[in-house]
Structure 1
């Protein structure tokens, strides 16, 4: 194997493990609204327009308030 081939094909052992939750996923999980967040993200991804996801946004907003995250993060209602 040439040096050029080695640079193009890194060893398998260097591949990052995607099964472990990253910092963002851990933070969302701690809010108690991870399911609502995922549903909202999926909607926005599928519809390509957040305005089409008002029900999902409201479900996330209600969960956020129910879990007390608005006091913890000093969220302000618009």
Structure 2
């Protein structure tokens, strides 16, 4: 590999990963980003949503506390 090749950064399509993307902005706007992170981390670790019932419930309660049902016109299933 030449020096020019080794000096290049891999092009993974992410210019600046520190900037929040549209998904992050939407999650932050719900007021439940911490609960969302815990839920996603649980699923990542356990690979089974059923093993993350406590995290899911915490997210649902936060969602309701923040008034997101009204804001997003979501209905409780």
Q: How does the TM-score come out when normalised to structure 2?
A: 0.82
* CA RMSD, 1 decimal: 2.2
**Equivalent residue pairs, number:** 73
Post-superposition CA distance 1:21-53 (Å, at most 9, x none): 111001100110000000000000100001110
Runs of at least 5 residues in structure 2 that lack an aligned partner in the other structure? none
4+ aligned runs moved over 2 Å, structure 1:
8-12
Mapped partners of 2:44, 2:16: distance in 1: 24
Mapped partners of 1:37, 1:49: distance in 2: 15
Q: Give the greater-gyration-radius structure (CA).
A: 1
Runs of at least 5 residues in structure 1 that lack an aligned partner in the other structure? none
1:72 is aligned to 71
